[in-house]
Structure 1
Amino acid sequence: MTHETNGPAAWPARRTLLTAGAGAVLATGCSRSAAAPDLRASPSPSGTTRGADLTPGAMALFEDPSYNFNGLFALGASGAGAAEVGEVLTAVNAINKAGPSAQSYVTTFSRLGDRLMAAPEGGRPDGRTTRFRALRAAQYYGQALFFVLGSDTPGDEERLYRAGRAAWDRFCSLCDPKPVTDRVPYGKTPLPVWFFRPGGSGSRRPTVILTNGSDGQNVDMWTYGVPAALDRGWNALVYDGPGQGQLLFVDRVTFTPTWEKVVAPLIDWLSRRPDVDTGKIALTGLSMAGDLVPRAAAFEPRLAAAVAMPGCVEPWRGFPPEIREILRPGKAETNDIWNKEVVPSLPEADAATMKKRFEPFSVPAMLAARQGKTFTDFYTPARAIQALTVTDVVSRIRTPMLVLDYEGEQFYPGQARELYDKLASPKDYVKLTAAEGAQLHCSPMAPQLHCEVVFDWLQETL
């Protein structure tokens, strides 16, 4: 773990930090022509460029880096009760035996979710058993959801989302205390929220708003923050924003570049609660939300602290150059290149990856993917992704910020450092490493360590 700071607070002494080698990032670049780019050889939300180098031994669940990366998230979630090691490894063995494919992955994990939502055979589960079976089911439905667009049944996407959401809601209904649920006004489509509180008094407490990325589910926010917050006496707010969860899969609302307009009504809602210390509201962002959080912090002065996990300033650069080069100034020219030169020679697995990556930015792309088709309008969602660039607004940030980075970061290599260098506010930079088992995007095998770093910093900062 490497660490840098320009803030006045000293890092806790127990965090004597290891120095990682400079430039420990994954190579980008593709091995095919622009007409048929190999997305799996470049940063993508479901694969790594040199994943085998950084996922040795027990971390190598599948030969295919896309399945491996997602499987690691399921394994890592076991520390928070959001998965079971034996269940995950049994599913991995079943998928490998059947032949790894989107279909075998979806079928195996969705059936596992179904099994956990039913009562255990021959047993009479109490509330706690039912609760954590539902939490694990939410994880497994999320695993299936991630690959469903590449399966034989892409039209099952909304059904799988609803199954995972039902599992999450069952889990929440059995928590003690139950999270407060509400619909926070936002444009024409309210934001669903789950407000978790520690037991005990209703005194005012620090509160963390946990922000998901472009393809995460509510269960991931449990793994990456809720228990860590509650254990420290904090409140935690989980929500679906545009392009996420219910707003994407059901309400069909895509991402917005003005994330401060999403965060502001959440803070308004929190500020009306007697159990929230309004001077200690923090915002964290996982995966692509490492771009959304700096944007919100640049325009929302009520935030007391912010964490980008990892730091990101331009999500469009997370696509390989061959994909970015398709985008031209004109819509007609761009879509001509996409439909006539790229799509006809795009391998099936790469087409599925593009469908997955573009759907949070385009309802037509999502609906086409659910019909087993590749979207025809590349230009509009590509411009929407470009609009998320925050390079020009980072200098406005006055909120103290922690920027996380990861050895072997696949999607946004170098961008965490770029964000950190541009910040003029009190700031810290921490790079999690392979020596700690915390390598790769969002440290999928080390979410507990991840939370320790984040919440130690939040405690020190606030």
Structure 2
Amino acid sequence: MGLLFKRDFHDEFGAWALGFIPYGGIDFGEIVGVAQAVGDGDDSAFYEAWVAAGDRFKTEATDTLTKGRQAVARDLFLKASECYATAKHPIFGFPVDPRLVEAFRKQTAAFDQAMALSKTPVTPIRIPFEKGSLPAYFIPAVDYPDSVRPLLILTNGYDGTITDMYFASAVAAIHRGYHCLLFDGPGQGELLIEQGIPLRPDWETVVSAVIDVAVTLPLVDVARIAISGWSLGGYLAPRAASGDERIAACIADPGVPSLADGFRQMVINLMGASPEAVANLGTMDQHLLDQVWDFITNNRKLSWSIVQRGFWVNGTKDLRAYLASLELYTMTGRESLIRCPTLLTMAQHDSLSSAANVFYDSLTCPKTLLRFSADRGAGDHCEMKNRTLLNRCVLDWLDDVFGTTAITH
């Protein structure tokens, strides 16, 4: 399949929406229409085209709601939220662009309107955390809105949002009989964009606060609480499971044992550096660091990922500090602390999943490694071109672990 968007950088973000189509996201023709509106344009053109699509869906939703068609309006508000979420990706970073904040607020408002129009209305909740709180949504299973059921806690990655996570994972799960709890932690969504709170490696501290609230919810089967993380969440979810025994199952998509190791290998492969030279990224030789900096800043995707996005999310000001922070995100020495059944995914062409098999070998808990291949359209990051396959396999595994049965249609 060729590019939908003319620029590779834009296509990576815009084509992400393809994975949401089966779960109520905007349809293929709408994505093509946005791509045509962007054309050869820059990041501003990308932003404006997606926001315009979001505004169009929002207007349609509002008009539909005045006619009493709540279910249709809900679907349209969700599509609007998706468009606003997609719009801000290329401008995501520090210094914070006012358009980023505007799109995030419009995204959140549209998502809240959609949730309020659900057959069983969903209202945002706040999870007490340290001196503040985390935004969250408890979304009940479609066929069990009033029943005690297993809970799936979903945790995001670097620049993902609750809207993305809803389409990517929650829709499939709530239709399989699982209640879902979605939240923003430090370095994500509201906490980053509105409050400037950076990411932290001790995700078990964050998720324990989430579970403290989850176990008080009357519909949650406290003996069957699972956590699932995608992208960077493939590190965050296992890290949480290593520190809270109330987690009864863990899913990492993909399995990520370390953030530094992937970067370390890139420097070895591209710069010809010795393993000793990059044993600790934060203390590498200045000459090598300068070479790495030149390589990053001359690559649009890497510059966005690391300088624009990574520095901001990790709360760092320069490359050395950023690389030093990566060393803190590691499961080394914590593998045996995971006691619950754990599922790791490994997609064929996803560089983030390159160490999933090594991570798998290090685990001492009941474990499963699922490989996804390009010939099934699932070989890329987070299996986004065949998310239905990923969700089916993951939820089948979770059904087996929890002995879950659900209504089938």
TM-score when normalising by structure 2? 0.86
Sort the Cα spacing of 1:216 and 1:334 in 2 relative to 1 into closer, same or farther, 3 A.
farther
Which residue of structure 1 lines up, in the alignment, with residue 235 of structure 2?
291
The one-letter amino acid paired with 1:346 is T
Sort the Cα spacing of 1:358 and 1:152 in 2 relative to 1 into closer, same or farther, 3 A.
closer
Which residue of structure 1 lines up, in the alignment, with residue 343 of structure 2?
402
Task: Note the C-alpha offset of 1:346.
Answer: 2.9
The answer to whether the 8 A contact 2:282-2:324 is kept is: no
The answer to whether the 8 A contact 2:23-2:172 is kept is: no
Task: Note the C-alpha offset of 1:179.
Answer: 2.1
Mapped pair 1:142 → 2:85: yes
Q: 1:355 aligns with which of 289, 308, 333?
A: 308
- Distance in 2, Cα, partners of 1:197 & 1:391: 35
Sort the Cα spacing of 1:187 and 1:336 in 2 relative to 1 into closer, same or farther, 3 A.
farther
Could you tell me which runs of 5 or more consecutive residues in structure 1 were left unpaired when the two chains were aligned: 1-56, 366-375
Say which SS state the counterpart of residue 457 (structure 1) adopts.
helix
Which residue of structure 2 lines up, in the alignment, with residue 20 of structure 1?
none
Q: 2:382 aligns with which of 442, 446, 456?
A: 442
Which residue of structure 2 lines up, in the alignment, with residue 10 of structure 1?
none
Sort the Cα spacing of 1:153 and 1:296 in 2 relative to 1 into closer, same or farther, 3 A.
closer
Task: Note the C-alpha offset of 1:189.
Answer: 2.2
Which residue of structure 1 lines up, in the alignment, with residue 37 of structure 2?
94
Sort the Cα spacing of 1:341 and 1:444 in 2 relative to 1 into closer, same or farther, 3 A.
closer
Task: Note the C-alpha offset of 1:336.
Answer: 12
Say which SS state the counterpart of residue 186 (structure 2) adopts.
coil
Say which SS state the counterpart of residue 142 (structure 1) adopts.
helix
- Distance in 1, Cα, partners of 2:242 & 2:63: 55
The answer to whether the 8 A contact 1:184-1:193 is kept is: yes
Tell me which of the two structures has the higher relative contact order, counting C-alpha pairs closer than 8 angstroms and 6 or more residues apart.
1
Say which SS state the counterpart of residue 442 (structure 1) adopts.
helix
Sort the Cα spacing of 1:262 and 1:152 in 2 relative to 1 into closer, same or farther, 3 A.
closer
Say which SS state the counterpart of residue 358 (structure 1) adopts.
helix
Which residue of structure 2 lines up, in the alignment, with residue 23 of structure 1?
none
Written as runs of structure 1 = structure 2, the 5 A alignment for 1:35-184 is 57=1, 59-62=2-5, 64-96=7-39, 99-119=40-60, 126-149=69-92, 154-184=97-127
Which residue of structure 2 lines up, in the alignment, with residue 317 of structure 1?
261
Written as runs of structure 1 = structure 2, the 5 A alignment for 1:248-287 is 248-287=192-231
- Distance in 2, Cα, partners of 1:283 & 1:150: 27
The answer to whether the 8 A contact 2:61-2:76 is kept is: no
The one-letter amino acid paired with 1:148 is I
- Distance in 1, Cα, partners of 2:159 & 2:398: 25
Q: 1:423 aligns with which of 345, 363, 369?
A: 363
Task: Note the C-alpha offset of 1:342.
Answer: 3.8
The one-letter amino acid paired with 1:461 is V
Sort the Cα spacing of 1:316 and 1:341 in 2 relative to 1 into closer, same or farther, 3 A.
closer
Task: Note the C-alpha offset of 1:169.
Answer: 1.3
1:103-147 deviations in Å (ceiling 9; x for gaps): 221121122112221237986652222211211111111111111
Which residue of structure 2 lines up, in the alignment, with residue 232 of structure 1?
176
Q: 2:283 aligns with which of 320, 329, 343?
A: 329
1:263-288 deviations in Å (ceiling 9; x for gaps): 11211111112211111000000100
The answer to whether the 8 A contact 2:310-2:322 is kept is: no
Sort the Cα spacing of 1:134 and 1:121 in 2 relative to 1 into closer, same or farther, 3 A.
closer
- Distance in 1, Cα, partners of 2:223 & 2:96: 48
The one-letter amino acid paired with 1:79 is P
Bigger fraction of residues in helix: 2
Sort the Cα spacing of 1:114 and 1:419 in 2 relative to 1 into closer, same or farther, 3 A.
same
Sort the Cα spacing of 1:344 and 1:256 in 2 relative to 1 into closer, same or farther, 3 A.
closer
Sort the Cα spacing of 1:419 and 1:118 in 2 relative to 1 into closer, same or farther, 3 A.
same
Sort the Cα spacing of 1:282 and 1:177 in 2 relative to 1 into closer, same or farther, 3 A.
same
Q: Give RMSD over aligned pairs.
A: 2.9
- Distance in 2, Cα, partners of 1:162 & 1:122: 21
The one-letter amino acid paired with 2:283 is P
- Distance in 1, Cα, partners of 2:198 & 2:93: 21
The answer to whether the 8 A contact 2:87-2:103 is kept is: yes
- Distance in 2, Cα, partners of 1:348 & 1:310: 24
Which residue of structure 1 lines up, in the alignment, with residue 274 of structure 2?
none
Say which SS state the counterpart of residue 233 (structure 1) adopts.
coil
The answer to whether the 8 A contact 1:243-1:360 is kept is: yes
Q: 2:321 aligns with which of 365, 380, 386?
A: 380
Q: 1:300 aligns with which of 241, 244, 256?
A: 244
Could you tell me which runs of 5 or more consecutive residues in structure 2 were left unpaired when the two chains were aligned: 272-276, 403-409
Sort the Cα spacing of 1:417 and 1:348 in 2 relative to 1 into closer, same or farther, 3 A.
closer
Tell me the matched-pair count: 387
The one-letter amino acid paired with 2:357 is R
The answer to whether the 8 A contact 2:255-2:353 is kept is: no
- Distance in 1, Cα, partners of 2:81 & 2:208: 28
- Distance in 2, Cα, partners of 1:201 & 1:91: 36
Say which SS state the counterpart of residue 108 (structure 1) adopts.
helix
